[in-house]
Structure 1
Amino acid sequence: MVQIVGIGLIATFLALILNDQKPMFAFMLTVFVGAFIFLFLIDQIVAVIVMLERIAVNANINDLYIKTILKIIGIAYIAEFGAQITKDAGQAAISAKIELAGKILILVMAIPILTVIIETVLKLIPQ
C-alpha cells in the first residue's frame, strides 16, 4: 500500500506542476498512473477470484452465479474508474453517463440471480 500511495503522491505533484504548463500531459499522467495502479493490483484481484471460486466449489454453488457476481463487481469498478477519469478531465456529464451505464449493466447482469431468488422464495411459500 505504501508503494501505491507513494506513486499516487508523486503523480499528484507532477500533475499539479504539469497542469499549469501542459494540462493534456497532466491528464495523460493521471490516466497512466491510474492504469498502472490497477495493473499493480492484478495479482491480488486474481487471488480473490480464485479464492471465491474455490469457496463456491466447496459450497456447491452454481459456477454461473459466482461468475455473474464477479462480472458485476468488475463492471462496478470499471465504471467507477472511467467516471473518475472523465471527472478529472472536467467532463462531469460524461462521467454521470458512465455511472448510469454501469448501473444499468449491473441490473441486467443481476436479473438471472434475482429470478432464482424469487423462484426459491415462491417455492418456500405454501400455496
Structure 2
Amino acid sequence: MDIIQIVGLGLIATFLALVVKEQKPLFAFMLTVFVGITIFLFLIDEITKIIQMLEGIAEQANMNMVYLQTILKIIGIAYIAEFGAQIAKDAGQASIASKIELAGKILILVMAIPILTAVIEMVLSLLPT
C-alpha cells in the first residue's frame, strides 16, 4: 500500500469519524483505532524490509547483533508508546497519554543501559592509564 492509499484511508476515516462522532462517539473512537491498526498492518512488510536491511548492514560491519536487537526494541517501544498515547489523546484522555509516554521513556532508558555501559567501557579502554 503506498502513501496515497494510506492518506486516502486516513482522510476517509477522519471524515467518517467526524460525522459519526456527534451521534455515536464510541463508534467514532473505535473507527479511529481500527483504521490506525489497519494502517500499521499495511506497513508490516515495509518494517520487515527495514529490519532485514539493518541486520544485513550489521552483519557486514561485524557488529554485535545484541546491540542491533536492543536498538530495534527501543525503536519499537517508541512507536508503540506514541501510538498508544495518540489513541488516548484522541479519546480525550491526555493524562493517560502522558503516562503512556512516560512509561515508554522509562522502558527506553532501561533498554539503553547496556548500550551506554558498553560505550563507556569502550571509551575508558581507549584512554591511557
User: What TM-score do you get using the length of structure 2 for normalisation?
Assistant: 0.98
Identity of aligned residues (%): 74
Instruction: Work out which of the residue numbers 79, 103, 108 in structure 2 matches 1:77.
Output: 79
Matched pairs, number: 127
Matches within 5 A, 1:79-118: 79-118=81-120
Report how far residue 65 of structure 1 moved. Answer: 0.3
Report how far residue 57 of structure 1 moved. Answer: 0.5
Matches within 5 A, 1:28-107: 28-107=30-109
Report how far residue 91 of structure 1 moved. Answer: 0.3
Q: Which amino acid aligns with 2:71?
A: I
- Helix, strand or coil at the partner of 2:128: coil
The 1-side partners of 2:7 and 2:94 are apart by 25
Unaligned runs of 5+ in 1: none
Report how far residue 121 of structure 1 moved. Answer: 0.3
Matches within 5 A, 1:14-29: 14-29=16-31
The 1-side partners of 2:69 and 2:15 are apart by 39
Query: Does residue 124 in structure 1 map to residue 94 in structure 2?
Result: no
The 2-side partners of 1:82 and 1:38 are apart by 12
Q: Which amino acid aligns with 1:12?
A: T
Structure 1 segments, 4+ long, off by >3 Å, are none
Report how far residue 19 of structure 1 moved. Answer: 0.3
CA RMSD of aligned residues (A): 0.3
Report how far residue 6 of structure 1 moved. Answer: 0.1
User: What TM-score do you get using the length of structure 1 for normalisation?
Assistant: 0.99
